[in-house]
């Protein structure tokens, strides 16, 4: 099975290793042929696995190639009495396999026409032949036959094509076996691996194939016993179910938007870093500076306009209304990467939100809607508990930059209150802070609530370095706090505290994951569900949040269902668990190699990375503009 289309972009997730020959050359024996010829049935001991795999493959409409759309039935003739599919193939010209020469294809086409005189013949090129722009059948159709023969020249999902056919003729295409799985009669004029076993109508003999095998046995031999699979989650050995689940995820995510994804107003380097995270197909992804340029693309309701963050320019909103294009707001996910976006580190997770965005409580976001309405399954809750345990055990955060150390605070046995600072002009503060909207105000509120506690203030790193709003003078901070922490990671501080006070910081969510009491003075996405002590009265967002959630439900919504996770090795969408695993590996490797990892990139290094990213973006945009 291929990942999702062209293998130079999406690596193959399965392969075969044969010590006797190759399964696609019937001139010589192969290991697959040996498995099928053996006295023992290939089904023995794996019947349940075979049936489950076949059901999954067909229900999810998976094949060797998985980026093709379903058949547009309007190209079929409405008055067909019978439909016969004749399969074209790649033209090799060397007679490598029996039947793979022009005469074999000529016999196949002639048989289909003569044996089904009332049928419409549909000549189709599978994707492997389509990609090479080579055809055998096209040159074999005589003028009198063209009235009955319809050539299908576009890529199409094979299962949707087979659903519209009554019978299949092939020389040796793998699509012939998929037709067998779909329950269609198949006539074969060559000798592919699945012919000669009694499951097909064979027009060439193969004396070596002496056993009789059904479709389930053929599937068991080829897909389970002969093939080897990569587990896309671990990048180690896997099985067919690992690959099928991964492929199904690609189809599901890509299918959320049928048309193009047009990034509006993105800086070139940021658009390039997002890259395929918005679409697996380069021709569906593009960038424009403004609404005027976007309008020239001829948008339809299948397309989407993608914006960074919360704000929607009026002209973009108007364009979406007139064309029916969807508006999507994109932001980094809650577990992002090892490194900062400002240091050009691409995100491992993003969120795409059509209702709003999670940090803006002014309107419901997709996350808020999900948490308000979704019926969480036992499997989702079990996964959420495992993910939470993993995050806590390995001290994972959004950026994963700082090493862990145990604080040496002299608390004298008092309750420890942590007050993490924020960037005061950050969007989450501007839109989500209500009762308190400054770091000094947060410190004052926390001290008022806990006059006798040991209070720790941790300034936000960007504020501490200067250049961002939110500075609190040390003299004023020490009037309210017992300790100002500038060295330890925020996770080290959370683990050492009893209660955390915050306006809208993601550290509040990190603290909930670690079973800490969290007091909020704003409307962050995790407040209002009964898990936090919310000090805001009458806030519209908190009033909208009508459910009481358990922590596993909040985790499942925020970390499993809302974000999209990305694997840059396989160029595809992956799971939260896979990204956590990669982050741990990458962080630990960098720690062992370079020691402390919180040092930011210098200006020159950052500009060099930007230039490289921008160069790659020009290549992508050329594909989009074709």
In a domain, 279, yes or no: no
pLDDT reported for residue 24: 87
In a domain, 305, yes or no: no
- DSSP class of residue 308 equals E
Whether the CB-CB separation of 326 and 294 falls below 8 Å is answered with: no
Residue 399 phi, psi dihedral angles, 5° rounding: -110, -20
pLDDT band at 265; cut points 50, 70, 90? very high
Q: At what angle do helices 240-254 and 47-59 cross, to 10 degrees?
A: 10
What's the mean per-residue pLDDT of the chain?
89
* Overall number of domains in the chain: 2
Q: Give the whole-angstrom CA distance, residue 440 versus residue 480.
A: 9
Is pLDDT of 625 > 50?
no
pLDDT tens for residues 153-172?
Answer: 788 999 999 999 999 999 99
pLDDT tens for residues 310-322?
Answer: 999 999 999 999 9
In a domain, 384, yes or no: no
| Beta strands in 221-260, from DSSP E residues, in sequence order | 227-231, 236-238
Q: Give the whole-angstrom CA distance, residue 86 versus residue 64.
A: 19
In a domain, 456, yes or no: yes
Is pLDDT of 304 > 80?
yes
Is pLDDT of 144 > 80?
no
Whether the CB-CB separation of 471 and 478 falls below 8 Å is answered with: no
> What percent of the chain is modeled with pLDDT above 90?
71
Tokens of 455: 């209070």
Is pLDDT of 95 > 60?
no
Whether the CB-CB separation of 319 and 295 falls below 8 Å is answered with: yes
Length of the chain: 626
pLDDT reported for residue 268: 84
pLDDT reported for residue 93: 44
In a domain, 364, yes or no: no
Is pLDDT of 601 > 60?
no
CATH number for 535: 3.40.50
pLDDT tens for residues 550-593?
Answer: 999 999 999 999 999 999 999 999 999 999 999 999 888 887 77
- Domain boundary (231, 254, 278) is at 231
Q: Give the whole-angstrom CA distance, residue 576 versus residue 511.
A: 19
pLDDT reported for residue 11: 84
- Domain boundary (200, 231, 262) is at 231
Is pLDDT of 266 > 60?
yes
Which whole number is the average pLDDT over 176-194?
97
Is pLDDT of 138 > 70?
no
pLDDT reported for residue 399: 84
Candidate from 235-239, 345-349, 447-451 with smallest mean pLDDT = 345-349
Please give the residue that has the higher pLDDT: either 397 or 624: 397
Label each residue of 310-364 as H, E or C: CCCCHHHHHHHHHHCCEEEEEEECCCCCCCCHHHCCCCCEEEEECCCCCCCCCCC
Whether the CB-CB separation of 98 and 191 falls below 8 Å is answered with: yes
In a domain, 169, yes or no: yes
pLDDT reported for residue 599: 44
pLDDT reported for residue 593: 77
Range of the domain at 25: 14-231
pLDDT band at 369; cut points 50, 70, 90? very high
Q: Give the whole-angstrom CA distance, residue 483 versus residue 616.
A: 47
In a domain, 560, yes or no: no
- Domain boundary (494, 513, 540) is at 540
pLDDT reported for residue 393: 96
In a domain, 329, yes or no: no
């Amino acid at each position: 099975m291929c990942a999702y289309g062209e293998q130079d972009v999406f690596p193959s997730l399965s392969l075969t290793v044969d010590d006797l020959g190759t399964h696609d050359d019937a001139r010589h024996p192969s290991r697959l042929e040996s498995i099928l010829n053996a006295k023992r049935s290939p089904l023995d001991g794996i019947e349940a696995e075979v049936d489950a795999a076949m059901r999954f493959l067909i229900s999810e409409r998976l094949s060797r190639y998985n980026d093709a759309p379903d058949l547009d039935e309007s190209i079929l003739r409405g008055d067909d009495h019978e439909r016969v599919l004749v399969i074209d193939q790649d033209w090799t010209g060397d007679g490598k396999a029996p039947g793979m020469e022009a005469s074999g294809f000529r016999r196949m086409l002639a048989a289909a026409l003569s044996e089904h005189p009332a049928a419409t013949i549909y000549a189709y090129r599978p994707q492997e032949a389509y990609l090479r722009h080579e055809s055998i059948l096209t040159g074999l159709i005589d003028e009198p036959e063209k009235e009955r023969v319809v050539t299908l020249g576009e890529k199409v999902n094979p299962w949707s094509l087979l659903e519209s056919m009554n019978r299949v003729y092939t020389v040796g295409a793998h699509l012939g076996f998929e037709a067998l799985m779909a329950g269609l009669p198949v006539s074969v004029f060559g000798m592919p691996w699945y012919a000669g076993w009694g499951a097909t109508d064979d027009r060439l003999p193969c004396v070596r194939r002496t056993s009789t095998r059904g479709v389930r046995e053929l599937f068991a031999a080829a897909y389970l016993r002969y093939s080897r699979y990569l587990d896309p989650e671990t990048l180690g050995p896997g099985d067919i179910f690992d690959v099928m689940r991964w492929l199904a995820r690609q189809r599901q995510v890509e299918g959320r938007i049928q048309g193009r994804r047009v990034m509006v107003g993105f800086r070139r380097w940021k658009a390039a870093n997002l890259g395929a995270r918005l679409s697996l197909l380069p021709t569906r992804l593009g960038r424009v500076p403004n609404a005027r340029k976007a309008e020239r693309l001829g948008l339809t309701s299948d397309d989407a306009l993608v914006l960074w963050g919360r704000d929607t320019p009026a002209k973009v909103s108007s364009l979406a209304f007139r064309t029916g294009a969807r508006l999507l707001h994109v932001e980094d996910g809650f577990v992002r990467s090892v490194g900062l976006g400002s240091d050009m580190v691409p995100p491992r997770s993003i969120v795409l939100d059509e209702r709003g965005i999670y940090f803006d409580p002014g309107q419901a976001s997709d996350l808020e809607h999900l948490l308000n309405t979704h019926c969480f399954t036992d499997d989702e809750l079990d996964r959420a508990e495992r993910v939470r345990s993993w995050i806590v055990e390995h001290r994972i955060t959004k950026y994963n930059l700082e090493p862990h150390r145990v604080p040496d605070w002299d608390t004298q046995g008092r309750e420890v209150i942590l007050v993490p600072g924020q960037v005061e002009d950050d969007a989450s503060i501007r839109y989500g802070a209500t009762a308190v909207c400054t770091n000094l105000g947060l410190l004052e509120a926390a001290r008022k609530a806990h006059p006798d506690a040991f209070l720790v203030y941790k300034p936000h790193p960007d504020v501490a370095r200067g250049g961002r709003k939110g500075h609190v003078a040390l003299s004023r901070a020490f009037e309210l706090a017992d300790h100002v922490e500038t060295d330890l990671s925020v996770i080290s501080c959370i683990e050492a505290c009893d209660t955390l006070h915050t306006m809208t910081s993601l550290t509040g969510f990190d603290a909930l994951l670690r079973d800490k009491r969290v007091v909020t003075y704003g409307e962050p996405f995790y407040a209002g569900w009964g898990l936090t002590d919310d000090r805001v009265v009458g806030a519209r967002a908190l009033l909208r949040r009508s459910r009481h959630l358990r922590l596993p439900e909040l985790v499942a919504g925020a970390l499993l269902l809302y974000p999209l996770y990305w694997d840059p090795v396989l160029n595809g969408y992956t799971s939260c668990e896979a990204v956590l695993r990669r982050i741990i590996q990458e962080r630990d490797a960098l720690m062992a190699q370079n020691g402390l990892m919180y040092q930011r990139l210098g200006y020159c290094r950052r500009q060099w990375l930007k230039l490289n990213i921008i160069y790659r973006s020009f290549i992508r945009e050329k594909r989009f503009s074709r």
